[in-house]
Structure 1
Amino acid sequence: MTILLLTKSLSFEQEFIRNLNDLGHEVLCSKKFLTDLQTKDYFGMDLNYFDTLILSETISDQEVSKILPFFLNFKCAIYRKTINPSPAETINTWKKMGITGFISQNTHFDELREELIACNEKKTVLKWGPPNNEETTLEIMLRNFSRQELQVFRILQESQRNYISRESLSQQLWGEAPTKSKESRLSGIIRSIKKKLAEYGFDESCLETSWGRGYRLEKMKLKVPGDFKVVES
């Protein structure tokens, strides 16, 4: 598993990184990426490369709240690392905001191993066999969307083939008018959805972009050859 650990102190994380390495995980620990995101609203890494993101306890709750929406664009599991185990109410609040789970400094080696194994998401492949119908394939695809990909997809679905402007999507996603940064994020979400449509055998042209009008979702049709089916492995 590939893990990105964001922290304010590289030296503070050394023992934790050793534990992750001992479990066979590849870990990139970075302070710079965190600083860039906080000060420049820029993140110099393709987060899709990583299976898991861990936010260190050296980052305050307030700071995590501010940067968390950016990471919801991606599919990776997001863990909050803490010094001590968090109360159930706190855990539930963070999970509603998009945190996958919690890891504390006191998490036992065995528990850490099992938690990270459990967060591995299923992959989807094409295999020979009776073809799926569109409804089944769509259900499998949506289970592999990131939170914000799913949110955008549902908004477009509910628009009943009408165009949804960037302004409207930005308001519904982030509660404010689009900035250059948010327009860039939105474009990235749309590109990712189109890519997944193609990967799962749909005609990606059903997701249309119109300059000055926004986006709309037309009727989805499978174009995967009839001898193939989409399954989870």
Structure 2
Amino acid sequence: MWRTLIVEDEQHARASLRKLFAKANLPFEIIGEAINGEEGLGMIRELQPDVVISDIFMPVMDGVRLLQLTREEGLECRFVMLTAVSEFEYARQAIEYGASGYLMKLSLDLTGLKQAMEKVAAELARMEKLRKADKWFPEKSAQEPTDHPEMNRIIAYIEEHFAEDITLKSLADFIRMDASYVSDLFKKKTGTTLTHYIQNRRIQAAKMLLAETERTVSDIGRNVGFENDNYFIKIFKRWCGVTPNEYRKEQKNVL
């Protein structure tokens, strides 16, 4: 169950959310409620939730500011924003700061909640795979934050979405910069190209799945972001010196 915190100043809205979650049969457990962003930030620090469902307009501290401060402190919880139609521009800003999505307060129903939270559950599952990969393969050098905030945003995005279709253009659009400039700057700040960084992240995840599961090579390749089996095997061998099947046999011999 994913630990969930509700940050909402209206009591009836909090109660409605609890009822919807109870009916939705989703893998989320509500562990607390806060009535504004300031209280919510304290509870995030204390409870370490996996996901925060936060209203945008609240007294003391609004939801967008809460999201900003949470990210500045390096806390990884996912955010889903609650918004009214007139607040849509603020919801868009929240998406730019890394929110997983938003829910329309005035029309929220069981179907809408399920659609939004299933997306969040998938993101959390990817993050869990990433943490397992880091634990299994300590030889992988951890990427230290750069001195450039937009490059750090790209790195964080790749860490969460490496299994998806990621292109230079999509990353450039994400931070609203010219693609050629992003490519040059990323290499300057990290010492590697975007392509190599993404490939390495996918290979590390693939190594964990090969060692810990019995899933087929084809299934693993698709799940870490490679478009077809041959390309996955080719890139895996380039990085590891052996094919995925050979790597799996080596790991079984070690264990």
Q: Could you tell me the TM-score, scaled by structure 2's length? A: 0.43
Structure ranking higher in strand proportion? 1
Q: Could you tell me the TM-score, scaled by structure 1's length? A: 0.47
Structure ranking higher in helix proportion? 2
